[in-house]
Amino acid sequence: MQLINATELASWLENDERPNPILLDVREFSEVQLCQISGSIHMTMNTVPTRLSELDKESPLVCICHHGARSMQVAHFLKQHGFESVFNLTGGIHAWAMLVDPSMETY
């Protein structure tokens, strides 16, 4: 499991020469209703174990939550279950709003 910060992720998403990662948002439904990164897949943390088959083990995957703690746990879980290229967004969606998209609602 690797760490990636908001500005690094934004650069990655803007880079047409590198395949985009799967953005896995593991926050609760009410949190996602407030704000989310465009193109992210929502899968609450507690449903990840039963929904592993919905994720591509071959694609790079970035786990996202509010500040990075829940997504870190999910990233470790995914690594233990054979996902090779797993990243955790340090600072979570809050860091994204502060550093990349200041128009995004924060909570």
Residue 35: phi, psi to the nearest 5? -165, 155
Average pLDDT, the chain: 97
Q: Please give the helix or strand (H or E) that residue 3 lies within, else none.
A: strand 2-4
Q: What's the pLDDT score for residue 43?
A: 98
CA atoms within 13 A on the CB side of 91: 14
Count of CB atoms situated within 10 Å of the CB of 64: 29
Q: What is the mean pLDDT of residues 65-77?
A: 98
The domains located in the chain, with CATH, are 2-99 (3.40.250.10)
User: What confidence tier does 50 reach under pLDDT thresholds 50, 70, 90?
Assistant: very high
User: What confidence tier does 53 reach under pLDDT thresholds 50, 70, 90?
Assistant: very high
Q: Which of 24, 26, 37, 65 is catalytic?
A: 65
* pTM higher than 0.85: yes
Active site residue 65: yes
